[in-house]
Amino acid sequence: MSLTDISLTEPSLFDTVKKQFLYKLKGRLGLFLAMMGVQIMGLLFSLSGASSHGMGDNFLYVSVNEFSSDLIIWFTFFWIFVVAVLITTKDYQNIDFTFVANRLSSHLSNVGFLITAAVIGGVTAMLSGTLLRIVIYFIRGRYMLSENFITAPEVVLTGIAVTILYLLLISALGYFCGVLVQLSKVFIVILPALYIGTVDFLARELPVIVKVYNFIIGENSLALLAVKVLITTALIYACSCVLANRLEVR
């Protein structure tokens, strides 16, 4: 060996994941721009109010229009699902494997990215609700009721926490779906069919599906919800990693 020989480097997994995570965060800012667009759209759709009920007599008709930022949160759920599927596609994978990566580091940095996306998405979705309140205040201030208008910090924080938990779960599901599609294109047909079937069974109150539904959506304790969601999310991510570990890339 000559003196000018290049020596082999011994990379650590953690180091590689960290580098990839930062690289992805930098390179995928556009996805957060999409989140912004989706939330602003949700806000605009919410300006007209969610539902309205009224009462009238000979002289007076009073209606109460209910406003809510639920739509913004739903839109954010949808956004993170699309993002999670998107980053499993060949285009994004290709970007990963341009520089140093193996399957595990690629998945772990993706998971890190999605967790970050869930936290940012959760905070912004809930705070968009506050922004919506301010906008509505100025549009129709004189006839707003103060109920639920200014929410106590602990209530907002609870909302943020629950939203983040849902976003984590949905991103894990989206990622899993994306990985399945990468494994076999058959899943492009199977997954939507499965989804429609589930919704259909849910409507028919099939006990198993209702149980799964109640497991998360029926949970009223934040701590229990967190435990359930975190364990489920971790399991789904683990499955995705194991399934995709033998995938060929580029």
Partner 1 sequence: MATIDPLLVILFMANLLILVLVILFVVKSGCFSLQNKIQFWLIAGYILLLLASPVVIQMLPKENFADERIKKVSEKDLYVQADLYTIAQGASPEQIKGVFVLEQWEFPYNGSMLNVVVRPLYEYDAVIVVERKDSADGKIEAVNYASKPIVELIDLSEIMKPHKVALDGNVLKVTAPEFLQIELGVFRNEFVISQILGDTELESAPWRHGSQLIYLRVPADVEVQSEASVHFVEKQ
Partner 2 sequence: MDVISCQELTKTFGRVRALNNITFTIGQNRITGLIGPNGAGKTTLLKIIAGFLRASSGEVRVFSEDPFNNLKVAANMIFIDDQMRFPTSLTLSEILASAAAFYENWDMELARRLFDYFSLDPEQYHHKLSKGMKSTFNMIIGLAARCPLTIFDEPTTGMDAGVRKDYYRALLRDYLQKPRTIIISSHLLNEIEDILEDIFLLSGGEKRLQTPVSDLKEFAVALRGRREVIDKLTAGQEIYYQKSVGKDHSYVVIRRDAAEGLLKKAGRDGLEVFPVKADDLCVYLTSRKRGGIDSVFDRY
| Residues between 198 and 227 that touch partner 2 (CB under 8 A) | none
Which of the choices partner 1, partner 2, none does residue 2 contact, using the CB cut-off of 5 to 8 A by kind?
Answer: partner 2
- CB 165 within 8 Å of CB 225: yes
* Close Cβ partners of 52 (under 8 Å, ≥ 6 residues apart): 63, 64, 65, 66
Q: Quote the tokens at residue 83.
A: 């993002």
Q: Quote the tokens at residue 178.
A: 């994306």
Binding segment for partner 1 among 12-20, 82-90, 109-117, 237-245 (CB under 8 A)? 82-90
Instruction: Indicate the helix (H) or strand (E) that contains 47.
Output: none
Q: How far is the CB of 104 from partner 2 (least distance, A)?
A: 8
Phi, psi of 35, deg, nearest 5:
-60, -45
- CB 74 within 8 Å of CB 43: no
From candidates 53, 142, 185, 246, binder to partner 2 by CB under 8 A? 246
- CB 167 within 8 Å of CB 115: no
Q: How far is the CB of 197 from partner 1 (least distance, A)?
A: 15
Phi, psi of 49, deg, nearest 5:
90, 155
DSSP for 6-31? PPPP---HHHHHHHHHHHHHHHTHHH
Sites for partner 2 among residues 61-120 (CB under 8 A): 91, 94-95, 97-105
37 scored as a contact of partner 2 (CB under 8 A): no
Binding mask 128-167 for partner 1 (x = CB under 8 A): xxxx-xx-xx--xxxxxxxxxxxx-x-xx-xx--xx--x-
Which of the choices partner 2, partner 1, none does residue 246 contact, using the CB cut-off of 5 to 8 A by kind?
Answer: partner 2
- Site residues for partner 2 per CB under 8 A: 1-2, 4-11, 13, 16, 19, 22-23, 26-30, 91, 94-95, 97-105, 245-246, 248-250
